[in-house]
Structures are given as C-alpha cells and as structure tokens.
Amino acid sequence: MSILKVARLGHPVLRQVTETVTSQKLQSQSVQQFIDDMIATMKEYDGVGLAADQVHESMQIAVLEVASNPRYPNKPDVPLTVLVNPKVTPLTEEMEEDWEGCLSVPDLRGRVPRYKSIRVEAWDRSGKSIDFVANDFHARVIQHEFDHLNGKVYLDRMRDLSTLTFLTEYVRYWMR
Ligand SMILES: [Zn+2]
C-alpha cells in the first residue's frame, strides 16, 4: 500500500467534476489498489474522508471512516465505507452548521451548513448497489466528500468567511 500525495487548494484537479467509474474499471486491479491506497492515505493523515480527486485522480470514488479520530474528537463512529458514483438526496430542508476542515485546505477550520439527513445511493468497491440514510455528522462527512467529487470545497458552502480559523486558534478559542 502507498500513501498518496494530497492535492491542495489551487490544484485544478480539485475544481473538476470527477468522472463516473464504469463497473469494468472498478473491478480492475489498478482501481482496487487505488482504493486501498486512498484508505491508507485517509488514515495516515487522520482524515474522516477522502475523495479521489484529492489524490489527483478524477474519478467518482470517496472513502470515509470515523473511529476515535484525533482531528474530530467526540464524534460518533462511522464504519469504513467506499462510495463509488454516489448520488446524494437531502431528506429534509433542515440544515445544521458545524465546523469542518479538509486535508486539501490544511490548517483551517470553518463553520459550514449541511443537510441534517440525506439518502445515499452508490456502489460499494465491488460494484454492489448500496442505499442508506445518513444523519448529522455522518451526513456532513458524505456531503463534504460528495462536494469534492463535484469540484467543490467546503469554503464554497460557508455562508461567509467570518468563522474561518487556523487550527491553533480553533483549539484555543472555539473547541468545545
Ligand atoms: Zn475535503
């Protein structure tokens, strides 16, 4: 397994809409290896999610996992999930604002409104259909990764930039 280089804000790959993955391509050894590398990279940098374009591959693949994460303490666990060609549908108009960070926007945090409840339809890494409802922080992580696959970063979703905060100042003034 390899730790992949993470693209930072400004790299054009982060602003492209990623390409749909065909079932044949998904089954290939290179894409399966790539998914393993994405998971290893997410864990290495204590991310709770990672989208393929964040590691320079314009494909509709995202991975997520929340398990006693030092960057996001006190958040509920989310099992390791691979989402291929995901579709996200809000199940409520209700949005909630909370802090987000991003491996492609290092050292910053900001408050981002997200839908509290969403339906997620996707393939898993073997190409099997998955369909589930995600709420709260789980829904937030998926919306963040889904945005990456569509060329967006969390800064685009902030109502304004007044809460944009360096991590050190976040810990000092804002962490609850
Ligand atoms: Zn991100």
Q: What is the mean pLDDT of residues 138-162?
A: 98
**Phi and psi dihedrals of 119, rounded to 5?**
-100, 135
pLDDT, position 74: 79
Q: Which of 47, 10, 139 lies closest to 86, judged by CA?
A: 139
Cα 74-80-84 angle, rounded to 5 deg: 125
Q: Could you report the per-residue pLDDT of 80-122, keeping only the tens digit for each?
A: 999 999 999 999 999 999 999 999 999 999 999 999 999 999 9
| Ligand 1 centroid to residue 153 C-alpha, Å | 6
Task: Kindly indicate the confidence band of residue 71, based on its pLDDT and cuts at 50, 70 and 90.
Answer: confident
Q: Could you report the per-residue pLDDT of 122-148, keeping only the tens digit for each?
A: 999 999 999 999 999 999 999 999 999
Catalytic residue among 57, 65, 100, 145: 145
The helix/strand/coil state of 119 is strand
| Ligand 1 centroid to residue 141 C-alpha, Å | 9
pLDDT, position 166: 98
Residue 145 catalytic?
yes
